[in-house]
Amino acid sequence: MKKIVIETLYPEFNNLYGDRGNVLYLKKKLEKSGCEVSVIQTGLFDTPNFINSKTDFLYIGPCQEKQQLIELERLKEIKPALEERINGGAVTFASGNAFELFGEYIELPGGEKTEALGFFPYHAERFSRLRYNDCSVGEFGDMLVTGFKNLLSFSYGELPEPFLKMKKGAGMNKKCGFEGVCKNNFFATYHTGPLLALNPQFSEYIIKLIDSEIEVLPLSYEKQAYEKRIKELL
Amino acid sequence: MGKLRFILAIAVGKFSAFILGRVFKRGTNTPGIIMLKICPDALARFKMPETTVCVTGTNGKTGTSNLLTHIIRKSGKTVVNNSKGSNMAPGLASALVTQCSLSGRVKADVAVLEVDERSSQFIYTKFVPDYILCTNLFRDSIMRNGHSGFIFDKINDYLNEKTTLVLNGNDGISGLLGEGVCKRVFFSVDRTSRSTQECEDTVCDLSACPKCSHPLEYEFYHYNHIGSFRCPECGFKLPESSYRASDVDFDADTFVFSGPAGESAVLPFGKNGFFNVFNITGACAVCRLMGIDIETVSESVEDLSAKTGRFDERLIGSAKVTSMLSKNQNPISCSQSLKYLNGEGEKDAVLLITDSNDKAHGHEDISWLYDTDFKPLSGENVKRVYIGGSRCWDLANCLEINSVPTEKLRIFEDYDELASAVSGEICPGRETVIYFELYATRVVSKIKAQIEKTGGKAQ
């Protein structure tokens, strides 16, 4: 039996909006496909597992705005390890405002800037009041990926390797037709919520990246839910 | 000019309230909407009663406000409240305009106003409440409320130093409101026989210290992040509670309320369950702060212990049918009502809690389902789980991911087919528990009507 290790970074912060559904889904799906799965929850003051041991899937979810800046300071301390992981092609998935951590900086409504990890040439600007909600559909290769967004900021700048070409809903900001990052096997998206549970096709792709030998078995209702949503949204 | 405008707004507001009351025979927000159109700062111009209490928080606002109103009335004071209208500015304006003189003097001794968390800036900046009772803060509807930190700021930014805050000493989120600004009085519930060492619910909105971000140490949890904690790193904890609930007895449904003057009373918490202990304790704390004697408080709570509109239990022929209104996209409240299934006896559950056609309430985003605790559906006593509506496949998928056995699931996109299936498959001696959102009220009535037709027997 294949052993798969999933790690969630900082779940005490990164647990908004049903994002826990991503790991919950992946675990269920891998188990159904015959794998033994262990999930490691790494707290803000713990040393991440991926630094010293094989970690097949690393997940970073969205958090509250105040917490984002605290988390960023912790991430800066492990920046070389994160960079090595991304360059080395290990599967990593960041969702919601975790996307912003990998850009150049985060700008607060008052103009104050906090330096981010600086892996990619974009930056985030927080809204002063409103939030942005939508249900969107984007293209990833020949796949359609659907998800939700609930954001208090948008990003600007360049996306040399975007994740999705949007068909419905905003990109990394309202004027941009693209969103997210897909570099090697690193995925960052502005989508919040259980993106993997909503997109069986994309999730299968992710599982194949984790281990191409896994024969992915479907869950009972995921395809119907996915097809119905896509049909209604487009 | 402003004064004239206000008087005009009162006249028009009163007139529209009179007409609407005659025609529709119910309370409405329309008089308030019209009033605020004519005079946008109307809420700042009323001459408010001697005492104004606002009740806010994620869960328990309505129950707490109703209880407060009841106790205060029993003490012999007159009360104006917004129980018939909304908990936003127009609802408050409607409530006040129907009970004020033409000069805007509110004719009551006390105002008890339920306030939506997000409306704080349109209300607390207009008049200064003597007391604000915050029941708790949790994650709530994603599309409307974002996250608990967002809502916290929405309230905290508009507090006035003259307001006394009455806060839940078991809630480390709302417990930080008004720190360093307002006078703060805490109430809390002591450890009970059902308290746990670990958080047994799906989500805990506070596991890191709000001051230093290190892991908090909980002495016990009541539910979710509601409990008693301290930070071993920086020593942070909430101040001692002046008003307390202790000796919660789950067989007799009673607890002991006590206050700083040595006063105490045994109070019933009724069918609403354990959450009501918090609502009652908070309401009683405010009443005691207002100087209402403990005997009046205690007698009034006893009168009101079993009433709630969200829970309906009836016997139709031989079939027991229970329906519960499930709050809009609120995973905490939904999880708590699902716990009802853990009770004894065989049950069938009917879930009418998500539907993309209900655009008005933003049901398109189903993320909240993944924060909801569906464990009770896996219990052996739960035999079937009916799911209805346009997002039934999403809910089914979420249940499968949460390891609810798929053999139990009966899935219907069409509500009428679901209603026929539920009523047609009624099992004698088994309770049917319906969880529904407001939009599905029609479906619930239909299910009940069909069961009634068959006399509660399977066809």
pLDDT in tens, A64-119: 999 999 999 999 999 999 999 999 999 999 999 999 999 999 999 989 999 999 99
With tokens 């994309």, the residue in question is A202
For the segment A224-229, the average pLDDT, to the nearest whole number, is 94
Domain that holds residue A109: 2-233
- Facing B143 at nearest CB: one of A133, A222, A228: A133
Q: Flag if A64 and B147 touch (Cβ within 8 Å).
A: yes
Residue with tokens 């809009």: B328
Looking up tokens 């933003």, which residue turns up? Answer: B362
User: Would you say residue A60 has pLDDT above 80?
Assistant: yes
Inter-chain CB proximity A28 and B367 less than 8 Å: no
Nearest CA in chain B to A74: B213
Among B151, B394, B399, B404, which would you mutate to test the A interface (most chain A Cβ atoms within 10 Å of its Cβ)?
A: B394
Q: State residue A165's pLDDT score.
A: 97
- Most B CBs within 10 A among A14, A192, A221, A224, hence the mutation to make, goes to A221
Q: Are residues A197 and B398, on separate chains, in Cβ contact within 8 Å?
A: yes
Amino acid at B112: V
**Interchain proximity B214–A13, CB inside 8 Å:** no
pLDDT greater than 70 at residue A130: yes
The Cα–Cα gap between A34 and A36 comes to 7
Q: Does residue A225 belong to the interface with chain B, where contact is any CB pair within 8 Å?
A: yes
Three-state secondary structure call for residue B25 = coil
How far, in Å, are B254, B292, B306 from residue B69 at the CA level?
Answer: 21, 12, 16
Beta-bridge partner residues of B53:
B112, B131
pLDDT of the residue at B360:
55
Q: Which residues numbered 308-367 in B keep a CB inside 8 Å of some CB on A?
A: 331, 356, 362, 364-367
Residue A41: band (very low, low, confident or very high) from pLDDT cuts 50, 70, 90: very high
Contact B348, B383 (CB under 8 A): yes
pLDDT reported for residue B355: 78
Radius of gyration in angstroms for the set of CA atoms belonging to chain B, rounded to a whole number:
23
What is the reported pLDDT for B272? Answer: 60
Contact A43 B215 (CB under 8 A): yes
Map residue B182 onto helix, strand or coil.
Answer: coil
Q: pLDDT value at position B146?
A: 80
Ramachandran quadrant class, B33 (left: phi over 0; alpha: psi -120 to 50; beta: rest): alpha
Give the pLDDT means over successive 10-residue stretches in chain B (459 positions): 88 88 73 93 95 95 93 96 92 94 95 96 96 94 83 95 98 97 97 93 92 96 96 96 96 93 91 85 97 92 64 82 83 88 92 75 79 95 93 95 96 93 88 89 89 71
- pLDDT at residue B313, as a whole number: 81
Cα distances (angstroms) measured from residue B250 to each of A97, B127, B194, B264: 43, 41, 9, 19
Distance from C-alpha of B338 to C-alpha of B324, rounded to nearest angstrom? 9
In residues, how long is chain A?
234
ipTM over 0.90: yes
Q: Which two tokens stand for residue A57?
A: 């899937």
Q: Do A65 and B356 touch (CB under 8 A)?
A: no
The size of the A-B interface in CB pairs under 8 A is 115
Query: Helix H segments across B266-414?
Result: 275-289, 294-303, 331-338, 375-378, 392-401
Neighbours of A79 (CB within 10 A): 12
Q: Helices B275-289 and B61-74: crossing angle, nearest 10°?
A: 40
Find which of A14, A17, A31, A146 to mutate to test the B interface (most B CBs within 10 Å of its CB): A17
Mutation test of the interface with chain B: which of A8, A10, A16, A196, choosing the one with the most B Cβ atoms within 10 A? A16
The sign of the dihedral angle between the CA atoms of B189, B195, B197, B198 is negative
Q: In order of start, what are the domains of chain B with their CATH numbers?
A: 47-303 (3.40.1190.10), 311-454 (3.90.190.20)
What is the model's pLDDT at position B310?
A: 63
Cβ separation A16–B149 shorter than 8 A:
no
Q: Which among B302, B306, B300 is positioned nearest to B77, based on CA atoms?
A: B300
Q: Say yes or no for a CB contact (<8 Å) between B397 and A221.
A: yes
CATH classification of the domain holding A184: 3.40.50.880
What confidence tier does A1 reach under pLDDT thresholds 50, 70, 90?
confident
Which of B149, B331, B366 lies nearest to residue A66, judging by beta carbons?
B149
**Is there a contact between B389 and B398 (Cβ–Cβ < 8 Å)?**
no
**Which of B148, B150, B207 lies nearest to residue A12, judging by beta carbons?**
B207
Question: What's the predicted TM-score (pTM) here?
Answer: 0.90
Question: In B63-73, which positions are buried (b, 16+ CB within 10 angstroms) versus exposed (e)?
Answer: bbbbbbbbbbb
Among the partner-chain residues A13, A135, A194, the one whose CB lies closest to the CB of B364 is A135
Interchain CB distance below 8 Å, B400 and A219: yes
Q: Considering just the CA atoms, what is the radius of gyration of chain A in Å?
A: 17
Nearest to B397 among A150, A219, A232 (CB): A219
Q: How many domains does chain A have?
A: 1
Q: Is some CB atom of chain A closer than 8 A to the CB atom of B368?
A: yes
CA distances from A190 to A94, A169, B185, B321, B408 (A): 8, 11, 41, 43, 35
